[in-house]
A and B are shown apart, each in its own frame.
Chain A
């Protein structure tokens, strides 16, 4: 059974940094692309970033490009999102999500329960 467990969320001031982690189990982690998807309070879903199975290719939404960095450690089955220069509009529940294959097509068959990031002074 696919299990994804996010951690690292919390309250941070505008301009600050935060690092999210996602511990994966129940599947061969390195053979699947992984993503972060967020949802602002009371709002819809927004794709944030994706990374290929081997970690060599990374992709970002325009809204976070240059501020966020996605990475993965396949030896530890862990996905990370380093978030810098945080803004109030980054406040959201952040979900770790597993693609159906090592292709980034928005077909996420596994999701964590999310971790809440609040950017406020």
Chain B
């Protein structure tokens, strides 16, 4: 399985919205509603932000939302805050107990 495709970087100003895309195939993103998104600050462990395409774990601000259309999933962060600056990874179940990640996107808050 090849890694999912994410933009290398995105940026936005405080208060703005940004969207990070995650493109796979019909065998992973498009085939299952098991897309997750992780936030990782430098030197820290990843943190689950979105699971099952649109679900937010408790404690995750509702500024974070997920969606999917066909083979592409998206993470939208509205009302950008300085603390949102981090790396973001998408992840999808790919069948037969296989899980694949995207290459990661660096979010810069200007």
Chain A residues in the interface with B (C-beta under 8 A): 37, 44-47, 50, 57, 59, 61, 95, 100, 104-109, 111-114
Contact = CB atoms under 8 A, between A and B. Distances in A.
A61 B100 CA distance: 9
Given A105-B34, A107-B36, A47 B100 contact: yes
B97 A59 contact: yes
Interface stretch (B16-24, B45-53, B62-70, B72-80): B45-53
A55 to B, nearest CB: 15
A106 B97 contact: no
Interface of B: 3, 34, 36, 38, 40, 44-48, 51-52, 57, 89, 91-93, 97-104
A106 B91 contact: yes
Main secondary structure of the interface of B (DSSP, over half): strand
Contacts of A106: 34, 36, 91-93, 99
A107 B49 CA distance: 10
A112 B36 contact: no
B100 A112 contact: no
Contacts of A45: 38, 40, 46, 89, 91, 101, 104
